[in-house]
Amino acid sequence: MTHVPHELAEEFPESLARISELKQHDPHFGHLFEEYHAVNRAIHRAETDLEPTDDFHMQEMRKQRLTLKDQIARILAA
């Protein structure tokens, strides 16, 4: 377990301008962006024991984050 937040700026450093543009002009992307960050923050809080959770819930949150990241990556690649 790394305890390092997986921020989208770190995950897609080459796409920062595109992310900013899409957040402003694409409501669907904006929703995905916000949802990703909410789940990512929850995972980080759980990993650092600020808000502990059980292993099953942690695994489900990580799956959700990965699904959101995949959707964001597809939009960025389009």
With respect to residue 3, please indicate whether it lies within any of the assigned structural domains.
Answer: no
pLDDT tens readout for residues 18-41: 999 999 999 999 999 999 999 999
With respect to residue 2, please indicate whether it lies within any of the assigned structural domains.
Answer: no
pLDDT tens readout for residues 56-77: 999 999 999 999 999 999 999 9
pTM: 0.88
Domain housing 52: 8-77
In which region does residue 3 sit, left (phi positive, over 0), alpha (psi from -120 to 50) or beta (all else)? left
Q: Which residues contact 31 (CB under 8 A, 6 or more apart)?
A: none
Number of domains in the chain: 1
With respect to residue 1, please indicate whether it lies within any of the assigned structural domains.
Answer: no
